[in-house]
Amino acid sequence: MADLLNGLKRTDMCNDFSIADAGRKAVVFGWVQRRRSLGSLIFVDVRDRSGLVQVVFDQTTDGAVFEKAEKLRSEYVVAVEGTVRERASKTNKIATGDVEILAEDLRILSESDTTPFEILDNVNVNDALRLKYRYLDLRRPTLQRNLIMRNEIAKATRAYLDSLGFIEVETPILGKSTPEGARDYLVPSRIHPGEFYALPQSPQLYKQLLMIAGFDRYYQIAKCFRDEDLRANRQPEFTQIDIEMSFVERIEDVTYPIEGLIKNVFKSTIGLDLGEGHFRNMTYKNAMENYGTDKPDTRFDMKIVNVTDVFKDTEFKVFQDAMNVKIGPIRGSIRAINFKGGAAKLSRKDLDGVVEFAKTLGAKGLCWLTVSETGEVKSSFNKFLTSENVEGLKKACGLKNGDALFIASDKDYVVFNTLGGVRLMLAEKFSLIDHDVYDVLWITEFPMFEWSEEENRYMAVHHPFTAPMDEDLELCSTDPSKARAKAYDLVINGQEAGGGSIRIHSRDIQKRMFNILGFSDEDIQTKFGFFVDAFNYGAPPHGGLAFGLDRLTMLLTKDDSIRDVIAFPKVQTASCLMSQAPSPVEDKQLDELGIKIK
């Protein structure tokens, strides 16, 4: 193969030039963004990951080089040597708009077929086509900036945690399958026929074992895997910044150092100072009752209000049924949100649309009530609405002329999910959110357990290794629905950026938690034996958390899709359109594993 570069070495990235460089020699490598011919002059925009620079080929300067330039097409890979000069027609559309390079040598390093879509930001192209040709999609400046941002976050994280004495330790990818979480991705063992490894949903057990091993402060930027039904902004494989530290007992022992990490990441990547002092704290109870979610977006108001008492004497059966719900610890209620000024903004079609949207969130329906500027009340349940009800709603919800009220009634968790979702939908539709603001807060005092109607038993809200709050230890046995955990989530702009807990370090308490969750001693030994045995040899008080690197990158780049901050993402069917994974394998491979396809 010919030596195409012939000793030519890059002197600059394409975006590095300014008027101060005029007159000096330069060599750039990159891809042809576009080519324009004006007779004796050819203008070519050359692009690399840093940006663009304009290159000029002048027929009167060097005919041989000009002849080569006539062959250039979009996405050809080139090396250009020339002299930087001031640009006659300057532009502010690119960072190097004051200068251009007068070409003196051109090497065509690789040719390109016509691409399936233009390599431009905001190009109107089907997502499936973009993902099929992901390597071309990744040439777009926005995606390259996103992945560079991801690198900057990882770099800032490592530097900050290193300064606090944390040690990066890699934990196994091939591990043991454990219950009480999402479905595992299983990997069959050829050497142990009929037995399987599991890909880690998180390094949880290993990082706790590292605390028992005496490493004191650990972190890892770890790949994790969950075989679950995909939702928007979820991926079957994802990356988390995983952290654990020893000799911590209070929530603040973990959250305060982590606040420093988050502030450092924001400052070093986007230059934003999150201010002095600690982040706000909000209890899980307050978050659910006021915002309907444990990851509230508090950049706008519109809080949920409990109006059950307003309708205590109602004849409306839908409301009566909600007030009579009693399933284990599960109760029902009637709650509302007030869209201030919404009466004038929402047509009847809009109101019906909100009701239909609520049904997609699991609600059987949604009631609405509007008050016109003149005080006229209209509602979807007018037959059952009394003047006392209206006065009660005005007092409870601050309902005034011009407002629109939405009322949900069902089991509490259905009501919260419905009104929390409707609240966000209205805020987006009517631009109630300031997207230039970063709102950061901790959610604390999560419940230890939640009741599973499907399994008719209590399940761990986080995982079985989370410590209860000291004052709620006995409640874990006597009234699990009221026990609170030493757990905490960091929420940024209504997105869960990370979460964790103080861990159980007492073997007796750990055994009690397993028993409450329905594990027999035999189950514990079979599924967690290697882990619980380690508690026999001195476990320090410890705790930690994990941040989603993908989610954090998405928040800092203000991108709407998590796929745009991952180099090679999967689609909602957990498949890769580019590589066609997953795919069938040869019978020979299955035979080696002792597997038959059912």
List pLDDT tens digits, range 142-190: 999 999 999 999 999 999 999 999 999 999 999 998 765 678 999 999 9
Q: What is the dihedral of CA 171, 174, 176, 181, to 10 degrees?
A: 80
Nearest to 355 by CA among 338, 378, 380, 318: 380
Q: How distant is the alpha carbon of residue 420 from its chain centre?
A: 18
Q: Give, in degrees to the nearest 5, the angle at Cα 440 between 436 and 445.
A: 155
**234: number of Cβ within 10 Å:** 16
With both helix axes pointing from N to C terminus, report the angle between 141-163 and 549-557 in degrees, rounded to the nearest 10: 120
Please tell me the predicted confidence (pLDDT) of residue 171: 97
Please tell me the predicted confidence (pLDDT) of residue 299: 96
Please tell me the predicted confidence (pLDDT) of residue 598: 85
Please tell me the predicted confidence (pLDDT) of residue 179: 62
Q: Residue 593 contacts by C-beta under 8 Å, 6 or more apart in sequence?
A: 188, 189, 190, 193
Please tell me the predicted confidence (pLDDT) of residue 62: 82
Please tell me the predicted confidence (pLDDT) of residue 517: 84
Please tell me the predicted confidence (pLDDT) of residue 182: 77
Q: Mark the ranges of the chain whose per-residue pLDDT is less than 50.
A: 1
Please tell me the predicted confidence (pLDDT) of residue 330: 87
Which residues make beta-bridge pairs with 107? 79
CA atoms within 13 A on the CB side of 561: 11
Q: Is residue 451 within 8 Å of 476, Cβ to Cβ?
A: no
pTM score: 0.91
Please tell me the predicted confidence (pLDDT) of residue 331: 92
3-state secondary structure of 295: coil
**551: number of Cβ within 10 Å:** 21
Please tell me the predicted confidence (pLDDT) of residue 36: 95
Rounded Cα–Cα distance for residues 489 and 492 (Å): 10
Rounded Cα–Cα distance for residues 137 and 134 (Å): 5
Give the domains, in start order, of the chain with CATH numbers.
14-110 (2.40.50.140), 143-285+440-588 (3.30.930.10), 300-429 (3.30.1360.30)
* Residue 163, both tokens: 């300064």
